[in-house]
Amino acid sequence: MKFKKVLTLRTIVATSAGLTLASSSFVAAVQVAGFLSGDSAWLAILIAGVFCLAAGMCFSELNDILPSAAGIRLYFGRAFGEKAALTVSLLYMLVVMGVVGAESYILAKILNYAFPSIDPLIWIFFMLASVTLMNIRGIKIAGAFQDVITYGLLVSVMVLSYIGLEKLDFHLAAPLVAGGMDNLFSAVAVGVFLFVGFEWVTPLAEEVTESRLISKGMFIAVGLLSVVYSFFTVVMAANVPREELVNSPMPQLLFARNILGDAGVAWIVVISLASSITTFNAGLISVSRFFYATAREHALPAVFSKISMRYMTPWVSILAVFAVGLTLSVIILFTGKYLVLVNMAAAAECLVYALTGVAVLVLRKKINRERKFIIPWGPVIPLLTTVVFTLLMLGVFATDPYMALWMAIGLGITWWYVSRIVPVLKEKHKAGRVSRRRNQNPESRSQNPE
Amino acid sequence: MATHGEITESLRAFEQAYADDSRLKVMNRDWDRKVLILADDLESAHTMILKDGELSFSEGKTADPDLTVISNSDILADMFFGDITPTEPYMNGSLRIIGPEDDILRLDFISLLIWGE
């Protein structure tokens, strides 16, 4: 079978890394540095990267078993049942909206620093509204443009890091001293946030000739990000007092100003705009499409499946994501609690990765067919992924005990919704449905899609 | 299990409903695609062609599809008759669509506009 549109490895790497590179990543990076003594943040970031590689292997095998744009919704559905899959997916999407909220707050702070006369609230509204409008009009960041943005960002961050290292006369203080296993563990747990979203590239599974390209792309992206984040975080923490960085929502700007003055501020504004716009765009597209698809399977009210006839986009879902993102951004603006969302995203990501390991083991038994990608060493890596990410999730909860409460409340609400409301919505839909096929062919059997 | 004839009937119903909706023709006037529809439980292949906003289908395969829809015959017949949405079997893995995500979504939009919720 021939494919007309084929994605290249370069674009897969750019998409995977681009979804992950965000302004809020630098905030998480300094939190990682904050847990550790000396210039040893790179240790925690590399370890988090290696763990994410293990999770990436699990995603690759799942993608090989069930190649579909539906991603975790399908993997978890087959492995744990529809209720559990929908509950986790809904919670995950809510967290992604939280990340969009935190991201817009951080970018607004950076823009407000560069242009003090404009209030952050106006920036937040302007940026979210712009990306929402882009989405409603169906404008996407296409492959080649995504390549330019992502590779440009990676090079830019490396160049800034190099300049910062030069300012230190290429000298780092105690790069191998982490200051205790507890601290290293907490740093790795928050470090997972730096890789949030690398696996979102799996929906492209149906757009490549060889599904292994997706795996390869994810692994290269995680490797590249590990190196770039490690380098940048270590140099950033070595140049600017740690206290100052940890308590700021824009540590990257403080660092760039420190080494390059106003030119550094301008540089960071450009980097932040590029990275945040791709994050907003990816977040909005993913969540709004998820809402649309969930409404189409009658698990959300039908209004979310309304589409624009002019632009062919699910405009109600897009506007809903905009409204939630804006609300969260404004709440963060007034409370300053952006780290809650960063930690929440790290915990949710750990939960998803932990479940991914279990899903591989379950689906290996359930679905028996020829595979192109099987993780070596049998159950070892999936099991390890599950254990490690469960512990890391607990590690995030340990750094902020309220996080466990928020997570439990979130899971409780989504579980209640899936158990109580979704059956009502499905029943309502079923009652109003007339079978055209059976009316046309009365002898035809009714079917049941698995 | 549905028959090849039932799948053909369902596609005919889909084609007719599409032809009755002038909005769809305007909406898809720039979306020229060949969609290969394959049943995985019997020998049945159809090709749906969208060109200049018009939709037609023929029995048999096309060599260079933009999208390939694969499922069991029951799901294909029910889906094109509008008895089920494509999203339900897609989400549980019993329907596979090979092609760009945007095109998959567009196909679902068309189904939604033809058959409603």
The answer, yes or no, to whether residue A210 has pLDDT greater than 90, is: no
Q: What are B74-108's pLDDT values in tens digits? A: 999 999 998 888 988 998 889 999 888 888 888 98
For residue B14, the model assigns a pLDDT of: 92
| Lowest mean pLDDT segment, chosen from A62-66, A308-312, A403-407 | A308-312
Task: Return the half-sphere exposure (C-beta side, CA atoms, 13 A cut-off) of residue B74.
Answer: 11
| Total number of domains constituting chain A | 1
Distance from CA of B12 to the nearest CA of A (A): 12
Query: Is a pLDDT exceeding 50 seen at residue A293?
Result: yes
Q: Given this model, what pLDDT does residue A450 score?
A: 36
Query: What is the pLDDT averaged over residues A220-246?
Result: 92
Contact of A5 with chain B, judged by CB distance below 8 Å, is answered with yes
Average pLDDT, chain A: 86
A129 touches chain B (CB under 8 A): no
- Cβ <8 Å between B92 and A207: no
Q: Select from B6, B61, B91, B109 the residue whose CB has the most chain A CBs within 10 Å, as the one to mutate to test that interface.
A: B91
A4 and chain B in contact, CB less than 8 A? yes
Q: Does A430 touch chain B (CB under 8 A)?
A: no
What's the length of chain B?
117
Mean pLDDT, to the nearest integer, of A159-177?
Answer: 84
Reported as a single tens digit per residue, the pLDDT across A320-366 is 999 998 998 899 888 888 888 888 888 898 999 999 999 999 999 99
Is A444 a member of any domain? no
For residue A398, give its domain range: 9-427
Facing residue for A441 by CB, picked from B6, B68, B93: B6
Produce one character per residue of B66-84: b if its CB has 16 or more CB atoms within 10 Å, e if not: bbbbbbbbbbbbbbbbbbb
**A447:B95 CB<8 A:** no
Q: Which residue has the higher pLDDT, A171 or A24?
A: A24
Q: Which uninterrupted H or E stretch holds B58?
A: strand B54-59
Please answer whether residues A222 and A50 qualify as being in contact, where contact means their C-beta atoms are separated by less than 8 angstroms: no
Verify whether the Cβ–Cβ distance B101 to A69 is below 8 Å: yes
Please report, for chain B, the start and end positions of each structural domain, with discontinuous segments joined by +: 4-115
Residue A326 belongs to some domain of the structure: yes
Q: What count of other Cβ atoms lies within 10 Å of the Cβ of residue A423? A: 13
What share of chain A has pLDDT > 70, as a percent?
Answer: 92
- Put simply, whether A428 touches B (Cβ < 8 Å) is no
Is residue A391 situated within a structural domain?
yes
Examine the pLDDT at A436 and tell me if it is beyond 70. Answer: no
CA atoms within 13 A on the CB side of B84: 19
Residue with tokens 């590179």: A21
Query: How many Cβ pairs within 8 Å bridge chains A and B?
Result: 116
Position A162 scores a pLDDT of 95
A77/B108 touch (CB, cutoff 8 Å), yes or no? no
- Segment A390-408 mean pLDDT: 87
Q: Do A312 and B96 touch (CB under 8 A)?
A: no
Q: What is the CATH number of the domain that holds A383?
A: 1.20.1740.10
CA distance A354 to chain B (A): 21
Instruction: Concatenate the DSSP letters of all residues of A83-137 into one string.
Output: HHHHHHHHHHHHHHHHHHHHHHHHHHHHHHHHSTTS-HHHHHHHHHHHHHHHHHT
Residue A183: inside a domain? yes
**How far apart, in whole angstroms, are the C-alpha atoms of residue A190 and residue A406?**
17
Residue A229 has pLDDT above 90, yes or no: yes
A11/A148 Cα distance (integer angstroms):
10
Q: Do A437 and B90 touch (CB under 8 A)?
A: no
Half-sphere exposure of B36 (CA within 13 A, CB side): 20
CB contact under 8 A, A447 and B74: yes
Mutation pick from B92, B108, B110 vs chain A, by most beta carbons of A within 10 Å, is: B92
Is residue A207 very low, low, confident or very high in pLDDT (cuts 50, 70, 90)?
A: low
pLDDT, averaged per 10 consecutive residues of chain B (117 residues), comes to 92 93 89 94 94 93 90 94 89 88 87 84
> Is residue A4 a part of any domain in this protein?
no
pLDDT band at residue A208, thresholds of 50, 70 and 90?
A: low
In a domain, A290, yes or no: yes
Q: Give the pLDDT score at A206.
A: 65
The closest CB to that of A440, out of B9, B68, B72, belongs to B9
pLDDT number for residue A446: 45
For an interface test with B, the pick among A436, A443, A446 (most B C-beta atoms closer than 10 Å) comes out as A436
Write down the architecture of domain B4-115 according to CATH.
2-Layer Sandwich (3.30)
Q: Is residue A435 part of a domain?
A: no
Nearest to B57 by CA among B33, B22, B79: B33
In a domain, A2, yes or no: no
